[in-house]
Amino acid sequence: MFKYLHVLLGQSLKGFATVLGVNRTKMDNAIGSNIVEPGMDGSNIKIQYDTYELSALDIDDVIKLGNKLPKGARIIQIIVHNDALGGSTTMDIGDGEDDDRYDTAIDTSGGGVTFCDNIAGRGYEIGTVALDDQIQATLEGAAGTGTLKIAILYAHA
């Protein structure tokens, strides 16, 4: 069907490049130390879900969420659901080593859903540094009251 598409479009298909991602390159040339790391291919996707009811929590209070993650787990996504926690409230999502590894200053003054988007947290391997195995939320901006729910999606062999 697409064999003659270039004729219809008046363009040549020969100029398009095909490139390989880092792990695809390793899969095509899997010799020696050039192999895909555990958790990057063929892993099981797991989810931890937790809820916390904030009751006049103060600025810089920390909420530990979910169980400790296993060494070698790779973070796929963290999703935060929250009530309106109070005017000027924000929340950092991180761990015991980096309190905003996954997201910084999420606006929690109104209810909402946030897909954590710090690029450093995407694909982060648990066990890289000490204390990175416990996901936590840190209240910032103002004291807060309301419901917080979190889903932690990760890959682990």
pLDDT in tens, 95-113: 999 999 999 999 999 999 9
Our CA dihedral for 90, 114, 128, 29, rounded to 10 degrees, sits at -150
The maximal CA–CA distance of the chain, rounded, in angstroms, is 67
Q: What's the pLDDT at 10?
A: 52
Query: What tokens were used for 52?
Result: 């916390």
The class of domain 44-156 in CATH terms is: mainly beta
Q: Which range, of 29-43, 48-62, 74-88, 92-106, averages the lowest pLDDT?
A: 29-43
Q: Which residue has the higher pLDDT, 68 or 42?
A: 68
Query: What is the three-class DSSP state of 113?
Result: strand
Spans of all domains in the chain: 44-156
Average pLDDT, the chain: 88
Q: Rounded to two decimals, what is the model's pTM? A: 0.79
Q: What's the pLDDT at 43?
A: 76
Q: How far apart are CA 17 and CA 22, in angstroms?
A: 16
